[in-house]
Amino acid sequence: MALYAAAAAVLAGVESRQGSLKGLVYGSSFQNVKQLYALVCETQRYSAVLDAVIASAGLLRAEKKLRPHLAKVLVYELLLGRGFKGRGGRWKPLLDRHQARLKAELARLKVRRGVSQNEDLLEGGSKPGPASQVPRFVRVNTLKTCSEDAVDYFKRQGFSYQGRASSLEDIRALKGKCFLLDSLLPELLVFPARTDLHEHPLYQAGHLILQDKASSLPAMLLAPPPGSHVIDACAAPGNKTSHLAALLKNQGKIFAFDLDAKRLASTATLLARAGVSCCELAERDFLEVSPSDQRYRRVQYILLDPSCSGSGMLTRQLEEPGPSVPSQERLRALAAFQQRALSHALTFPALRRLVYSTCSLYQEENEDVVRAALQRSPAAFRLAPVLPSWPHRGLGTFPGAEHCLRASPETTLTGGFFVAVLERVEVPSSVSQAEASAPEVTPSPAPKRKKRRRKATAAPSSQPDM
């Protein structure tokens, strides 16, 4: 019930201009931010349809205590969402009483408009675009389990494992309870778009991390070997931090910084659930962290994913399907901060590899920031050529920009993203040659599709039986 009340409060806040949808979601007390964001976005997308159905069914006239925004959320879940699945609290019996009438009014609305699908009821600007077709990517947390065991668990739950994806077409064809192993990241599972795993026992126990493929690239490309010291400069909400810890096998040290106390607390919760023990969290501005501090003398790897416009975020694209361009003033301010952060990161004396990433689509926050940083350190760092087969490259605004990676729903079936890998031209003398050899990233064999004779087990309440 807390989910629906929180979603109703966010919708009411957006309507009364108390803040942006994203800001209100992050400002709520509901812990599962992604689940709340998804529910609010979808309810808002169908807002006009829900208003029409609720009015025709006379729901608010019959139920005086039911507030309009809560009614909208509940009716969305009943008619267009995934049902209450044991949730709904005291409102579920109330909705059950009106279920037949609500479904009849939805059917009449389709007949009047001459459509057969729910999505056909949407206005042109609200119809699903490429962002709504992006699959559900799920990263297996190798601190707690392995891909093969996760695949077996889903198979015992009735999912059909299709092996390793060989093309984007394999992913586009996913439907129902089918899933794949990603072709690039050996610990990434791929499910059909809108697959909801927030209530799945593996997710709740920290065995799975719900993380888009593009968001999984930075840690993979940084590739710190176990035992390394790493800085995660802008760590919240923690998905990339947990990925770094998995790559380190909890051996070494992650210094994770973020200025937002509330988001840092959520990060701590996520890391604890994921079994991360090698991370030191600090509520601190990365720009104030001194490269000469002896605590960071062994830091050779930095992941910098700074605040950005968020223009590539799937939730942002679903929330605002039309063009939403930030002002030039805001873009300049963001780019100035990003340039300061990147230039600062490059001054750490033992640094030899850095990944700069954003979930922005704008050149000002991406290629322009990287070019400015390289111009300040022309002899010290260079862009590393990575993933030559990746289909979407950086904009050709300067020589070498093709080594950067871009991602989008249209070209890579992921969220909008940008990644650049900077490496030191010469390894600092304080770093041994043995430490300087980073491991190659090579996909591991895909778990076999052959069924095992293993007795199916009931879904556990807390710790999954892997």
Q: Of 5-9, 242-246, 366-370, 444-448, which gets the smallest average pLDDT?
A: 444-448
CB atoms within 10 A of CB 235: 29
The helices-and-strands tally (H runs, E runs) of the chain is 18, 13
Half-sphere exposure in the Cβ direction for 206 (13 Å, CA) = 18
Give the residue-averaged pLDDT of 268-292: 97
* pLDDT at residue 366 in the model: 97
Helix axes 33-45, 68-75, angle to 10 degrees: 100
Report pLDDT for 379.
86
3-class DSSP state of 12: helix
Q: Does the pLDDT of residue 281 top 90, yes or no?
A: yes
pLDDT tens sequence across 408-434: 998 999 999 999 999 999 755 544 444
Are 81 and 35 within 8 A, CB to CB? Answer: no
Q: pLDDT tens digit string along 434-466?
A: 444 444 344 445 665 554 444 433 334 445 655
Q: Residues 348, 302: contact at Cβ < 8 Å?
A: yes
- Amino acid occupying residue 388: P
Tokens coding 217: 């690239």
Q: What is the pLDDT of residues 78-109, one digit of tens each?
A: 888 877 655 656 777 888 889 899 999 899 88
CB distance 356 to 420 below 8 Å? yes
Residue 359 falls in the annotated catalytic set: yes
Q: Which residues contact 432 (CB under 8 A, 6 or more apart)?
A: none
CB atoms within 10 A of CB 344: 19
Active-site residue (options: 279, 308, 359, 404): 359
User: What pLDDT digit, counting tens, does each position of 112-166 carry?
Assistant: 888 888 888 876 544 556 667 899 999 999 999 999 999 999 999 999 999 999 9
The arithmetic mean of pLDDT across residues 167-172, rounded, is: 92
pLDDT (mean) for 297-326: 78
Amino acid making up residue 434: A
**Rounded distance, CA 463 to CA 144, Å?**
10
Whole-angstrom Cα distance, residue 156 to residue 2? 31
Considering 32-41, 115-124, 210-219, 326-335, the range whose residues carry the highest mean pLDDT is 210-219
Interval 247-270: pLDDT, tens: 999 999 999 999 989 889 999 999
Percent of the chain with pLDDT over 70: 85
CA dist list (Å): 23 to 15, 27, 214, 330, 355? 13, 6, 23, 17, 27
The answer to whether 245 and 318 have CB atoms below 8 angstroms apart is no
Distance CA 188, CA 170 (A): 15
Residues 6+ apart with CB under 8 A from 431: 300, 350, 352
